[in-house]
Structure 1
Amino acid sequence: MASRGKTVTGTDGNDHTFREKVAVQYKVSAKLKKNLQRMFYILLVPFAIISLHVFKLNEVLKITNQVLPEPQLWEKLYLSSLIFNLIGFTSLSRNNVQRLSVYFYGSSITVFSAIGWAAYIHATDAAMFVVQGRVRAYLFGQPLVIVTYFFLTVLTQMNIFALNYARNLMKAWQAKGCKSE
């Protein structure tokens, strides 16, 4: 719609960069929420792998012809951290700091105690492989202890990423209402 007469200087629409500023914590929150949500989806892969082993679904689905070792208690402990992942995932929709902190602390305790326990259990096999070159079992043509430690390393890294995103997201959510410089 055309205006009649002259327009006041400063209202030509070029001042939008000064008026429309989004606080930094909201930009950070959106980015971290997306990254953490991706990590929750990525963490479903090791949950699926461990679930196949613990619930002996390989025998039903015939994914591999390999004879797998019996499930260990650390795998069941790791699967219990799925509860905390679900709590963390549900916290993202409402920016719920309390739920995210339950995820952060619960997942930290269950995941890293399970991974530490697994590393401790397989330490003698690793020492035997390094010192003597002997291996008790193979999986997919590789020493089982090497496959296990590789899996534990990747699992640790993925959970560290997810917990780091959660920690930073909690900081961003708690910063709401604070002025940024």
Structure 2
Amino acid sequence: MASKYGARPVGTDGSDHWHRESVAWQYKFSSLNKSRLRTDLTIHIVLSLLMIVRVLPGLTSLLGVGPISSLRKWNFPPPRPWEYAWIVCIVAVVLGWRSMAKNESKLLKQYVVGSVVFGILPVISGFIDQSDDLYAYLNEKKYSGQFFGYPAVLVFYLFLFIAIQVHAFGVYFSYQLLKSWKPREKKAQ
């Protein structure tokens, strides 16, 4: 029987709860990295929308729709091939977003592959493609196009630096999620 005024039995005063109240590391890291990956994917979606707006005039002429009158007002340089390839990466973002609801590692692996193939590789080719323009701008202050009064090569490089970081963080957070979603291996006895 419990006594209101007597001595408490050892271990019932609430001081032994620390070993029972902790959350396992894989659940802690899973929720932390899911939050980080969601933020990363949101930034990626914003970048994708900006890129779609940027290539929309070229995309309409490529598809044969013809330039729409409001699109003619935008004085953008013509789109480069790496920009079209980079837009395909939005499919990988959708896969990454869908993988987090039920911890589907297969979809997350597809996101990683899509992010590398359609995200990182086009960004690297964009760095290579724009390197001559950057060199000409830095040495001779010559540039071929403008975005809102700024040299297009600087805006491209700003976009490329942001995009490579978004992709690198996305792949890193995905790797951490895959590691925490993997079942623990049993110890050999």
Q: Same fold (TM over 0.5)?
A: yes
1:149 and 2:157 correspond: yes
- What is the letter of the counterpart of residue 165 of structure 1? F
Aligned to 1:163: 171
Aligned to 1:18: 19
1:177 and 2:184 correspond: yes
1:61-80 paired onto structure 2 within 5 Å: 66-80=74-88
Name the count of aligned residue pairs: 175
The Cα shift of 1:178 comes to 4.7
- What is the letter of the counterpart of residue 33 of structure 1? K
- Secondary structure at 2:101 match in 1: helix
Counterpart CA distance in 2 for 1:19 and 1:171 is: 24
The Cα shift of 1:177 comes to 3.2
The C-alpha deviation readout for 1:84-129, integer Å capped at 9, x for no partner, is 1111111111111111111112211111121122222222211211
1:38 and 2:39 correspond: yes
Q: RMSD of aligned C-alpha atoms? A: 2.5
What's the TM-score, normalizing by structure 1?
0.85
Aligned to 2:119: 111
- What is the letter of the counterpart of residue 40 of structure 1? L
- What is the letter of the counterpart of residue 177 of structure 1? R
Residues 76 and 145, structure 2, Cα contact 8 Å, conserved in 1: no
The alpha-carbon distance between structure 1 residues 60 and 165, as it changes in their structure 2 partners (threshold 3 A), is farther
1:138 to 146, 153, 165: 146
- What is the letter of the counterpart of residue 80 of structure 2? Q
Report % sequence identity.
26
Aligned to 1:94: 102
1:126 and 2:130 correspond: no
Q: Is there any run of 5+ residues in structure 1 with no aligned partner, and where? A: none
Counterpart CA distance in 2 for 1:120 and 1:177 is: 42
The Cα shift of 1:62 comes to 6.0
Counterpart CA distance in 1 for 2:2 and 2:159 is: 72
Counterpart CA distance in 2 for 1:33 and 1:62 is: 40
